[in-house]
Amino acid sequence: MVQSSLSNSNVPHGFKGNFKQNIVSGFLVFLIALPLCLGISLASGYPAIAGVFTAIIGGILTPFLSDSELTIKGPAAGLIVIAVGCVIDFGFTGGQNPTADFHAYRMALAVGVAAGVIQILFGLFRTGIIGEFFPAPAVHGMLAAIGVIIFAKQLPVAMGVAAKGGPLELLAQIPSFFQKMNPEIALIGLVSLVLLFGLPLIKNRYVRMIPGPMLVVLVAVPMGIYFDLSHEHSYSWAGHTFNVGENYLVSVPNNLFNAFTSPDFSALGFAKAWKWVVMFALIGSLESLLSAKAIDLIDPWKRRTNLDRDMLAVGIGNTISAFVGGLPMISEIVRSRANIDNGARTRYANMFHGIFLLLFVALVPNLIHRIPLAALAAMLMYTGYRLAHPKELFHIYKIGPEQLAVFVTTIVAVLATDLLVGIAIGILLNFGVHIFGGTPVNTLFISQMSEDENGNSVVVMVRGSAVFSNWIPLRRRLEKQANSGKKVIAVNFAEAHTVDHSVMSRLEDLRMQFEEMGISFSIQGLDDHDSVSDHPLASRKLQKKRA
């Protein structure tokens, strides 16, 4: 991996010199993380405290293992689908049988340990770049599908309705959720959603300083107290009787240490467990790598994360987290972005966020019990909406119709099957698009490359094709030239039949990275290629007269 050579003395480093900025950001991120960790845990079929364990370990441990300066490590909404699928496969009943639920939880922890060990191996064997194999539209489709699933599963919780079924079944039941809703619970959920969607529209800078999730908690807790959710009782509305009580509030233990739970490693004797191990390891690693790269792009000091080292840190964190009862962790993009926006300078902001979480749950766990589940569900619905934002559909369409086809197909496939099968279908369709478009099959994984060197400059010639499945060798070839001291690097596609969007997008990221290192980077040889759209990063195909 190319490391940035920035030597700017203004780049922050050290503990004391950045203490104020880091502790302030750590505290503000803690305010965001606490309710999200609780909500993600419950949506995953884990105890509410499990996500807090993960964030504490991700905050206090990983800053000393990873060189990622601004990412926040913790549980992520994107892994809810895998986590809840895992516990359901091991007999989770959703509260109907607490003994069976606890057993399923312990078996899922064993899966988490195994996945963490695999991620450690990913880091040790320097496989961080593998995340760049997946085609961009399939990855975005997978994330959008996860958003739809989260929204569908949390809507009944926000309305106080019990519901079962897969994503498509839940979407079909939405009208019935409104018919059966518990008005008091639904009001808490609705107000929470209004606050989350409305806060970005408010221009007052003092109001916008309050993190959205914390604002929801500050409003939802008094509403829960007003509706007396801490006591079992019934009420009437519009001629119907509804029951409310503590089951609509977050349940947490009074003693943090009593909540530690050990894995049941007998789970790994079942073949089905390894399906979930693979999903946790692959999808979790992919999401974490994508988040770390995205945060690097907006780092004010343009620092670059060693993705292999970061994967090692995440793997160690996940292994320890699962040993004590926590959810899987990744480099989480929403909290990481908030970390930057709040002025964080170094990795110690992540550490402070973990310390504040530890102090809160250790000293005042009873305050967590006051949070209505409907408020947490609303936060996750908002997260799901952002993952599956309608604007993404239009953005993909502008890049090219073939990208939209892969994007939509991946979404539908994930909703109808599961994450692994869904993204596999998206990848296969992307291969089909290339083959149908005339890309030589024998170039899908291997392209012929050669270099034309002249002093401190080099042109890398690519023949055959440059598509998502053969991008990694091309990237390594370009990084090798950068690390050898070349100051002018170009890649020439004059003899390449196809240059797809995934490659164009990743070349743009690489260009920015090279520029930060003082290296001039350019793309040549596309004059005889037709672009599938007007988008600057759209796929290109060599004109028929030259193909």
> Do 119 and 237 share a structural domain?
yes
> Do 446 and 367 share a structural domain?
no
- CATH number of the domain within which 528 lies: 3.30.750.24
pLDDT digits (tens, 9 = 90+) for 247-274: 999 998 888 788 999 999 999 999 999 9
80 domain residue, yes or no = yes
Name the residue range of residue 147's domain.
16-383
Give pLDDT, residue 131: 80
> Do 261 and 186 share a structural domain?
yes
Contacting residues for 140 by C-beta, under 8 A, at least 6 apart: 392, 396, 407
> Do 224 and 345 share a structural domain?
yes
> Do 169 and 314 share a structural domain?
yes
1 domain residue, yes or no = no
Which residue is listed with tokens 């975005």? 140
> Do 227 and 150 share a structural domain?
yes
C-alpha to C-alpha distance for 411 and 423, rounded to whole angstroms: 8
Residue 315 predicted with pLDDT over 90: yes
3-class secondary structure, 240: strand
- Assess contact for 500 and 531: CB atoms under 8 A: no
Residue 59 predicted with pLDDT over 60: yes
Residue 546 predicted with pLDDT over 80: no
Q: CA-CA distances (angstroms) from residue 354 to 34, 52, 335, 534?
A: 10, 9, 12, 45
Span 392-417, average pLDDT = 96
Phi, psi angle pair for 127, to nearest 5°: -105, 20
11 domain residue, yes or no = no
Q: Map 31-70 to HEC letters.
A: HHHHHHHHHHHHHCCCCHHHHHHHHHHHHHCHHHCCCCCC
Total domains in the fold of the chain? 2
| Strands 457-466, 448-454: pairing kind | antiparallel
> Do 519 and 452 share a structural domain?
yes
C-alpha to C-alpha distance for 353 and 34, rounded to whole angstroms: 10
Sequence-ordered strand ranges (E) for 147-203: none
pLDDT digits (tens, 9 = 90+) for 184-207: 999 999 999 999 999 989 888 888
Which residue is listed with tokens 């012929």? 448
458 domain residue, yes or no = yes
Give 249's DSSP letter: B
Which of 383, 409, 426 is the last residue in one of the domains?
383
482 domain residue, yes or no = yes
Q: Tokens at residue 175, please?
A: 């009208």
> Do 342 and 476 share a structural domain?
no
pLDDT digits (tens, 9 = 90+) for 458-494: 999 999 999 999 999 999 999 999 999 999 999 999 9
> Do 345 and 269 share a structural domain?
yes
Cα angle 327-331-333, degrees, rounded to a multiple of 5: 110
- Assess contact for 429 and 137: CB atoms under 8 A: no
> Do 447 and 371 share a structural domain?
no
Span 107-122, average pLDDT = 98
Through-space distance between the first and last CA atoms of the chain, rounded to whole angstroms: 34
Which of 342, 364, 383 is the last residue in one of the domains?
383
- Assess contact for 264 and 106: CB atoms under 8 A: yes
Contacting residues for 61 by C-beta, under 8 A, at least 6 apart: 313, 316, 317, 320, 354
> Do 358 and 457 share a structural domain?
no
Beta bridge partners of 330: 74
Alpha carbon 506 to chain centroid, angstroms: 19
C-alpha to C-alpha distance for 108 and 85, rounded to whole angstroms: 10
**Mean pLDDT for the chain?**
93
427 domain residue, yes or no = no
> Do 365 and 229 share a structural domain?
yes
Phi, psi angle pair for 245, to nearest 5°: 175, -165
391 domain residue, yes or no = no
pLDDT band at 9 (very low <50, low <70, confident <90, very high): low
Give pLDDT, residue 547: 52
pLDDT digits (tens, 9 = 90+) for 409-450: 999 999 999 998 999 999 999 999 999 999 999 999 998 999
259 domain residue, yes or no = yes
Nearest to 26 by CA among 388, 236, 335, 417: 335
